């Protein structure tokens, strides 16, 4: 099984950033155990990475799946949408 590379861009630890971390962690730890690599990047501390990945808003989740790059903006509370993007059916 291939690893799913996830990058979550946040701004400090504001309310939306914390919600995104909690929502994403809850989902991937329940559904993707051992199949993901999660990196959390604070744009205030590493603005160059955010600029390189063309991050315009936070929180933003960047999903590197086989043959696909997807970005989801928001607090990741829409579980069904997130599960569809992460393609839990495979």
Domain of residue 36, residue span? 4-83
Domain membership flag for residue 75: yes
User: 63 with 86: CB under 8 angstroms?
Assistant: yes
Q: What is the CATH number of the domain that holds 79?
A: 3.40.30.10
In whole angstroms, give the CA distance from residue 79 to residue 24.
9
Query: Residue 88 domain-assigned?
Result: no
> Is 89 within the bounds of a domain?
no
Residue 30 has pLDDT above 90, yes or no: no
pTM: 0.88
In a domain, 90, yes or no: no
Residue 61's nearest CA partner among 32, 88, 41 is: 41
Q: How many domains does the chain divide into?
A: 1
Q: 54-63 burial by CB neighbour count: b if 16+ within 10 A, else e? A: ebeebbbbbb
User: Residue 15: inside a domain, yes or no?
Assistant: yes
Round to whole Å and give the CA distance between 72 and 51: 16
Q: Which one-letter DSSP state was computed for residue 68?
A: E
Tens digits of residue pLDDT in 1-19: 578 899 999 999 899 999 9
């Amino acid at each position: 099984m291939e690893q799913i590379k996830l990058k979550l861009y946040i701004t400090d630890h504001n309310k939306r950033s914390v919600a995104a971390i909690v929502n994403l962690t809850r989902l991937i730890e329940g559904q993707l155990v051992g199949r993901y690599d999660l990196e959390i990047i604070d744009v205030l501390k590493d603005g160059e990475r955010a600029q390189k990945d063309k991050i315009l808003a936070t929180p933003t989740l960047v999903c590197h799946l086989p043959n696909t790059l997807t970005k989801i903006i928001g607090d990741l509370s829409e579980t069904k949408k997130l599960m569809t993007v992460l393609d839990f059916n495979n």
